[in-house]
């Protein structure tokens, strides 16, 4: 007894009875005011960053292709020329790398011109055409692919030397506004300036793998257009199944948990039987690990008796431990089942809580979209900068050319003696105040993303906790439940506890950003690491992962205490942690039973929708009329996978509400046990089922005693 009291004293004293406590405190004050002010100032700065990005950024520099003069294709003077043609697209592969291309807005060190349509047939200039003019070779044959302003009578050879016209054309298709070679084009002509066709095919395959994806994307769009209605029907089925599962838990929670436990015991028992039979066969054959020796072929260990004997021992130990846990923890498992049933009743009394995840989803979408727009606008801030570039500076006439110096793309050095000299896009000017602070602004945006996302999630948890706590602390249910518990909890949380939510969200955000930085460092140094460095990095990553999980657990329970008592974050986190540690065995049992039940629910919803979608979209349900006939699809797996993913998202949203309800009722249940004793002055607020399991009861009023 003394040891138990010492342990309870180490984790704080039990909560004392408060005659004025009747559920979530109504008269409360603002908490963590300093953090609230800092959060509001941060949001104000986040808005200022967005305005700065809007003023200085230009996402058209990324979204729209730009020719060699810096003019956008499909806009202004090039309104009728929406596509960009690269004179020598292989220079994108041969002269640079894909990261550089992405950073420079898909710019390549080759002349680029806006065209009304991409080339449809292969063409290469022949030596016999060198004596002709540009008009005879290009304009007369409707090949309008030269740079603007090239005269009709210019000699073709001169235009090719100055790279005013392309020396070859490949059948192309527009992708992202750029003319890229056909994916299935295999007959490659001999091209001037390219040493071998192997490099051409390599360049095409490396640069235009996405073209096949374009064809696939068209088919995917057609499939969605044909099947979107039935996908919505499948998602509706998932919504109904999720809601029914949660509402019916009040009736079937006990049998379902029993079936799941028996199922786990049965699986382990079958594993023991199977291992024993395999061990017997291999023992009779004399197959031993001494005959096999050491090998890297792990499948070979399945043919020796020691492997199956070890597996048999492990499974037998697990089976024995599980049976012992079930015997000694049966009372706590019954409490967990009763809490699950009570949570189902709470959700049934407040159906509006089931749809609150939609509010959270919209707020998260706004946060992500705002950050994405800021990042895009900041990345495109500054004026485009152009420099002189030549394919080979060692050629005659190129020695004195000031390569990499700034130039004007509208006045290219046409008459330069250096072959291929041109003014190409290099990047965005970084001399302004905004451009010099670009990295810091992006870091600010990333912190804003993490902080706002975690704050929105914290808001949802605290609001739901306040609503479910008002259900538990209503003595006469449902008469004493407030009229609009969810709305009242939402207003109460925003009004008084914005700072506390921001405090918890900031702590979690800093840990998550540290994990992201660590992953980035690990990715950058992966090739140069030795085994010791990899081990250290793995330990750091594991520690941060565990820290993040612990902070999420602590924050979740702290928000519940904030919703009930209205105290600041640190006090609430401390009280929640101490309360849970005083009842650590109940916490573990409830957590595992809830996880097992919700996992079964997700498998039921997702599996049911997946099987139904498979049989419908593959046409394996006979007897359906024309109105219910499955659509003809290019990829029948596409709507099936969409339905499965959507069903998982819906089930996760509904079950997250149910999980929050269970956690809230559990903390309230523990507080109820410590505060009250069942007397007339201190009655228990828990359900009759929980009172019966615990062997407790509320003292009846004197009038009812005499009536009995």
Query: How far is the CA of 497 from the CAs of 489, 494, 504, 567, in angstroms?
Result: 11, 6, 11, 9
Least confident span in 81-95, 207-221, 278-292: 207-221
Averaged pLDDT, 339-364: 87
pLDDT of residue 325: 83
Other C-beta atoms closer than 10 Å to the C-beta of 656 total 18
CB 430 within 8 A of CB 410: no
Length of the chain: 708
Instruction: Say if residue 651's pLDDT is above 60.
Output: yes
Closest of 157, 145, 58, 150 to residue 110, by C-alpha? 145
Closest of 704, 707, 646 to residue 242, by C-alpha? 646
The mean of the pLDDT values for the chain is 78
Q: Which residues are CB-neighbours of 100 under 8 A, at least 6 positions away? A: none
Instruction: Say if residue 178's pLDDT is above 50.
Output: yes
Query: Does residue 529 or residue 488 have the better pLDDT?
Result: 488
Of the pLDDT bands very low, low, confident and very high (cuts 50, 70, 90), residue 208 is very low
Least confident span in 160-169, 235-244, 294-303, 607-616: 294-303
List for the chain the helix, strand, coil content (%; round to 5).
65, 5, 30
Query: How far is the CA of 402 from the CAs of 163, 193, 283, 430, 606, in angstroms?
Result: 19, 24, 82, 21, 64
The reported pTM is 0.72
pLDDT of residue 193: 47
Express each pLDDT in 519-549 by its tens digit: 888 877 776 667 787 888 889 989 999 999 9
- Residue 353: φ, ψ to 5°: -65, -25
Averaged pLDDT, 643-664: 87
Query: Does residue 349 or residue 200 have the better pLDDT?
Result: 349
pLDDT of residue 630: 63
- Bridge partners, residue 174, by sequence: 179
Tokens of 374: 């800021």
pLDDT of residue 148: 77
Percent of the chain whose pLDDT exceeds 70: 75
| CA atoms within 13 Å, Cβ hemisphere of 313 | 5
The number of angstroms, rounded, from the C-alpha of 329 to the middle of its chain's C-alpha atoms is 37
Q: Own/partner pairs for 104-109, CB < 8 Å, 24+ apart?
A: 104/425, 104/426, 104/427, 105/61, 105/62, 105/66, 105/425, 106/65, 106/176, 106/178, 107/66, 107/424, 107/425, 109/389, 109/391, 109/422, 109/424
pLDDT of residue 209: 47
CB 93 within 8 A of CB 153: no
pLDDT of residue 101: 39
Express each pLDDT in 442-462 by its tens digit: 889 999 999 999 999 999 999
């Amino acid at each position: 007894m003394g040891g138990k009291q010492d342990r309870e004293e180490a984790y704080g004293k039990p909560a004392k009875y408060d005659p004025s406590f009747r559920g979530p405190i109504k008269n409360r004050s603002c908490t963590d005011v300093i953090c609230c002010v800092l959060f509001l100032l941060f949001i104000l700065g986040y808005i200022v960053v967005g305005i700065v990005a809007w003023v200085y950024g230009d996402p058209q520099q990324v979204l729209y292709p730009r020719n060699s003069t810096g003019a956008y294709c499909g806009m202004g003077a090039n309104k009728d020329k929406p596509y960009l043609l690269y004179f020598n697209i292989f220079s994108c592969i041969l002269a640079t790398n894909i990261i550089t291309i992405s950073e420079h807005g898909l710019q390549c060190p080759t002349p680029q011109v806006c065209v009304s349509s991409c080339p449809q047939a292969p063409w290469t200039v022949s030596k016999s055409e060198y004596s002709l003019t540009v008009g005879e070779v290009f304009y007369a044959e409707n090949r309008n692919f030269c740079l603007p302003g090239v005269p009709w009578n210019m000699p073709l050879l001169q235009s090719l030397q100055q790279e005013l016209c392309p020396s070859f054309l490949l059948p192309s298709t527009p992708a992202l506004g750029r003319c890229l070679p056909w994916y299935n084009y295999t007959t490659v002509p001999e091209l001037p300036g390219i040493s071998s066709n192997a490099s051409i095919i390599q360049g095409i395959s490396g640069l235009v793998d996405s073209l096949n994806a374009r064809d696939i994307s068209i088919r995917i769009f057609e499939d969605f257009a044909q099947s979107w209605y039935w996908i919505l029907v499948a998602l509706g089925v998932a919504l109904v199944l999720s809601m029914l599962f949660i509402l019916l838990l009040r009736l079937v929670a006990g049998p379902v948990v029993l079936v799941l436990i028996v199922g786990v015991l049965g699986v382990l028992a079958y594993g023991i039987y199977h291992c024993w039979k395999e061990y017997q066969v291999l023992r009779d054959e004399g197959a031993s690990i001494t005959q096999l020796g050491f090998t890297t072929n792990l499948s070979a260990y399945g043919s020796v008796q020691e492997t199956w004997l070890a597996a048999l021992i492990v499974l037998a130990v697990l089976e024995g431990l599980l049976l012992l846990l079930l015997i000694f923890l049966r009372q706590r498992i019954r409490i967990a089942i009763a809490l699950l049933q009570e949570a189902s009743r709470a959700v049934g009394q407040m159906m509006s809580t089931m749809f609150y995840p939609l509010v959270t989803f919209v707020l998260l979408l706004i946060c992500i979209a705002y950050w994405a727009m800021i990042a895009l606008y900041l990345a495109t801030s500054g004026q485009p900068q152009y420099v002189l570039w030549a394919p080979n500076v060692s050629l005659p006439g190129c020695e004195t050319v000031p390569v990499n110096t700034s130039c004007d793309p509208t006045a290219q050095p046409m008459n330069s003696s250096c072959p291929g000299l041109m003014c190409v896009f290099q990047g965005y000017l970084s001399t302004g105040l905004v451009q010099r602070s670009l990295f810091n602004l992006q870091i600010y945006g990333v912190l804003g993303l993490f902080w706002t996302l975690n704050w929105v999630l914290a808001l949802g948890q605290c609001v739901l906790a306040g609503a479910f706590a008002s259900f538990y602390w209503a003595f006469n249910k449902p008469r004493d439940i407030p009229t609009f518990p969810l709305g009242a909890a939402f207003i109460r949380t925003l009004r008084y506890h914005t700072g506390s939510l921001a405090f918890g969200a900031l702590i979690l955000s800093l840990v998550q950003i540290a994990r992201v930085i660590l992953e980035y460092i690990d990715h950058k140094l992966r090739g140069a690491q030795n085994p010791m460095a990899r081990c250290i990095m793995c330990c750091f990553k594991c520690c941060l992962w565990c820290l993040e999980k612990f902070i999420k657990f602590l924050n979740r329970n702290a928000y519940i205490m904030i919703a009930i008592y209205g105290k600041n974050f640190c006090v609430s986190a401390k009280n929640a942690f101490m309360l849970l540690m005083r009842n650590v065995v109940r916490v573990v049992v409830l957590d595992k039973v809830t996880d097992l039940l919700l996992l079964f629910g997700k498998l039921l919803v997702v599996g049911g929708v997946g099987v139904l979608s498979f049989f419908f979209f593959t046409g394996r349900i006979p007897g359906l009329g024309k109105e219910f006939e499955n659509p003809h699809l290019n990829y029948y797996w596409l709507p099936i996978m969409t339905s499965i993913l959507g069903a998982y998202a819906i089930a996760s949203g509904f079950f997250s509400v149910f999980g929050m309800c269970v956690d809230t009722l559990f903390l309230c249940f523990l507080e109820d046990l410590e505060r009250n004793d069942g007397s007339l002055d201190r009655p228990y607020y828990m359900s009759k089922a929980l009172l019966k399991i615990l062997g407790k009861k509320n003292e009846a009023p004197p009038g009812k005693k005499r009536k009995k």
